[in-house]
Amino acid sequence: MNDLVTPSKHRRNVELAPGNAELEATRILSIVNGDDLFIPPDGITTNGDLKFVGAAKPNQFAEILDHDIPVHDPVTVDDTGHFSAKLLDQKRGLHVYSVKTTDGQQSAPWNINVEVHETVSIDSVYGPDGTLIGNGKDTHHNELNFIGVGSPGKVVELVNNGTVLKLLNVGADGHWSANLKDLNTGTQNFIARETDGQQSSPWRVLIKQPAPISIQFVIGNESFQLIGNHEPTTDRKVTLVGTANPGETGWIVDYKRDLVPFAANDQGVYFATIEGLEENGFHTFRLRSDLGRLSWPWAIKVIPSKLG
């Protein structure tokens, strides 16, 4: 004889409760790309059009998030507890999708790497001295040169912080270039955008306030004395110390010729020594940067030594 054990109602309710709670939880059920391929969590898609299907408590609104930022207008959760939404033309890179509903619940993240080929892009950004300025890097230059790609024969808008700065023709080889001057200090968010709406991933550059280019003081190498502006000295060998942008280079010049080169270190300080100064004459020094910047002058008069 077989014994039958019938669970109590209380036990059955305890066992079913987690299941009911799970059915009401806000969650993403599936993401399918424009090629009708299912993209699993941590998956990769080469098509940037994505369709979301999810579930939540019925009769409320659901909002698609990417990195916790809303990327779609709220959609309705129907009376069966389901919703759907489409995100088109998702940009290249890692996307961390989730869904938040008006009852305050938020789904677990669904990470997708989008590996689409951009029809328009910013490929590289350079300073006026030819230094590459990587995406997310900083510079003291307020002039930048851009190289990018687009569809041959089309027009590309170069946009910074939402403002169109230039209209550029894409060449037959699919490349475009641009030069921007007098950019403001602060964070710049550049994108290249075709007139049909296709746009590149952003290229961010922080432009820092340029350091002053200056002669701070002059030291006599023989007397080891500071030589003030417009003051006399018997030293015919002097060292100039001053400021410029880190890595900035150029020349110490007078009214006649280039005297010696200078190069600022990582702290934006330079040291430059000048020898063989002529006696009985004024020498007016300036810094002339390779970027075209010019310092205020510093003049000294070399007089004969009393010992001479």
Reading the chain (308 residues) residue by residue, the pLDDT tens digits are 444 433 434 333 333 344 455 668 999 999 999 999 999 999 999 998 999 999 999 999 999 999 999 999 999 999 999 999 999 878 778 999 999 999 999 999 999 999 877 778 999 999 988 889 999 899 988 899 999 998 888 999 999 999 999 999 999 888 999 999 999 999 999 999 988 778 888 999 999 988 899 999 999 999 899 999 999 999 999 999 999 988 899 999 998 899 999 999 989 999 999 999 998 889 999 999 988 899 999 999 999 887 55
Q: Please name the residue that has the structure tokens 């999708």.
A: 97
Closest residue by Cα to residue 295 from 208, 210, 207: 210
CA distance linking residue 289 with residue 244, whole number of Å = 9
Longest dimension (CA), the chain: 131
CA–centroid distance for 215 within its chain: 33
Ordered structural domains, the chain, with CATH? 26-114 (2.60.40.10), 121-207 (2.60.40.10), 214-302 (2.60.40.10)
Residue 117's pLDDT is what? 73
* Pairing status of strand 175-180 against strand 269-274: unpaired
User: The tokens of 227 are what?
Assistant: 């030589």
Task: Report the 10 Å Cβ neighbour count for 98.
Answer: 20
- Record the pTM: 0.51
The pLDDT of residue 82 is: 95
pLDDT of res. 281: 84
Return the pLDDT at 13.
Answer: 39
Find out whether 81 and 58 touch, Cβ atoms under 8 Å. yes
State residue 16 phi and psi, 5-degree precision.
-85, -20
Q: How many residues does the chain have?
A: 308
Residue 17, H or E segment:
helix 9-24
